[in-house]
């Protein structure tokens, strides 16, 4: 059975890609920024990519949609911003709710930064839940860490699921896998791609998962790894967080110097497959990566939505089976899962 979704605020395609992997067919993928739309069309020419502000979106053009999903802009709730919430002009939750009210999908999946789960935004969050309840949905939310789903980065995200009353009792949140590779394991082949002699030693130092990538916004933030605290955490992993490199270090790069990540390396840290290309120059390409919702997390949650639609009960044993299949089908690197051992923390 086929299920159809409408993706709002798609960005560089992380959530849309993950939901595609979960079995959803996108009837529309909406994104405002032209360079981001170019990325989406480049990777999925079959998708109906629409360059639009969702505040002007004509929802009446869509019929039956099983899922509306979206990663509405996070600056209104991000600790890296001013946390203005509903007073921020970039708050797109009202527009998303208007679209949901008009289309009335079977389910809704919205993701945002962990800040939306904080006490500061309790009133905003409760108003959001009440609005969805008035539309006839039962609502649950959780904060999920990307590292619990095989992604070599902590990246806690607020995930909201709203479903019709007959579907929600069958929805079960995905279990944590707790098997992320370290940064070194995930990136050692890319660090050594241009014959840098220090790649193996660097990988030994980068023996933990990454801190949360920070992509910045169109108005603020450049191609670097975020605020001072984030840069310090990257430094402890042997990474220069002051910028993004154009290419991997080569054999002339000093073995004792800290390399910078490339856009491709950052994309691996987010859980994108290497086949996914990002359009634009370094700054705009990195912004697409740094602000993305990791595809493996979207896929894991999407699979549970599909299971609820199909009234399929997923036991813990079945979840472990899903994990084993995913590790066999979608290794993050060529080397990550070839050894029969638990990766180093």
CATH at residue 79:
3.40.50.150
Question: Is 283 found in the same domain as 301?
Answer: no
Question: Is 222 found in the same domain as 156?
Answer: no
pLDDT for the residue numbered 221 = 56
Question: Is 152 found in the same domain as 30?
Answer: yes
Question: Is 113 found in the same domain as 56?
Answer: yes
Question: Is 216 found in the same domain as 73?
Answer: no
Supply the range of the domain harboring residue 223.
183-290
pLDDT for the residue numbered 58 = 86
Give the DSSP per-residue string, 50-101: EE--GGG--GGG----SEEEE----TTT-TTS---GGGSTT--HHHHHHHHH
pLDDT for the residue numbered 280 = 93
Question: Is 198 found in the same domain as 171?
Answer: no
Residue 146 lies in a domain: yes
d(CA 301, CA 191): 31
d(CA 310, CA 308): 5
Question: Is 95 found in the same domain as 146?
Answer: yes
**Active site residues per annotation:** 74
Q: Which of 26, 7, 11 has its CA nearest to residue 289?
A: 11
Residue 327 lies in a domain: no
Look at residue 318 and give its three-state secondary structure: helix
Which residues, other chains included, contact 158 with Cβ-Cβ below 8 Å and sequence gap of 6+?
111, 112, 113, 114, 115, 116, 117, 141, 142, 143
Give the global pTM.
Answer: 0.86
Q: Running along the chain, 345 residues long, what does each successive block of 10 average in pLDDT?
A: 94 97 97 97 97 90 90 60 46 90 96 91 92 97 95 95 97 88 97 96 96 76 81 96 96 94 97 97 94 96 97 61 47 36 35
Question: Is 120 found in the same domain as 40?
Answer: yes
Residue 343 lies in a domain: no
Question: Is 227 found in the same domain as 105?
Answer: no
Question: Is 301 found in the same domain as 255?
Answer: no
Question: Is 118 found in the same domain as 21?
Answer: yes
């Amino acid at each position: 059975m086929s299920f159809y979704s409408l993706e709002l605020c798609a960005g560089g395609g992380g959530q849309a890609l993950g939901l595609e992997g979960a079995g959803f067919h996108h009837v529309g993928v909406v994104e405002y920024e032209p360079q981001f739309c170019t990325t989406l069309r480049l990777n999925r020419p079959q998708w109906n990519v629409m360059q639009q502000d969702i505040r002007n979106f004509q929802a009446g053009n869509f019929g039956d949609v099983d899922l509306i999903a979206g990663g509405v802009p996070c600056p209104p709730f991000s600790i890296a911003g001013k946390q203005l919430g509903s007073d921020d002009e970039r708050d797109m939750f009202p527009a998303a709710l208007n679209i949901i009210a008009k289309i009335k999908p079977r389910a809704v999946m919205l993701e945002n930064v962990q800040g939306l789960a904080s006490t500061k935004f309790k009133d905003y969050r409760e108003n959001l839940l009440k609005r969805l309840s008035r539309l006839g949905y039962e609502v649950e939310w959780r904060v999920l860490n990307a590292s619990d789903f095989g992604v070599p980065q902590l990246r806690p995200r607020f995930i909201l699921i709203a479903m019709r009353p007959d579907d929600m009792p069958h929805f079960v949140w995905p279990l944590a896998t707790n098997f992320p590779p370290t940064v070194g394991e995930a990136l050692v082949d890319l660090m050594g791609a241009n014959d840098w002699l220090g790649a193996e030693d660097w990988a030994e130092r980068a023996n933990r998962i990454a801190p949360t990538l920070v992509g910045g916004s169109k108005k603020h933030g450049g191609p670097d790894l975020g605020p001072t605290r984030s840069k310090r955490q990257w430094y402890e992993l042997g990474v220069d967080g002051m910028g993004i490199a154009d290419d991997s270090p080569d054999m002339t790069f000093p073995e004792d110097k800290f390399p910078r990540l490339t856009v491709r390396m950052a994309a691996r840290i987010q859980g994108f497959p290497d086949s996914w290309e990002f359009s634009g120059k370094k700054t705009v390409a990195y912004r697409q990566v740094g602000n993305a919702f990791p595809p493996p997390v979207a896929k894991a949650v999407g699979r549970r939505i599909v299971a609820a639609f199909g009234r399929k009960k997923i036991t813990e044993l079945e979840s472990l089976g899903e994990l084993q299949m995913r590790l066999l089908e979608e290794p993050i690197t060529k080397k990550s899962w070839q050894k029969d051992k638990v990766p180093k923390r």
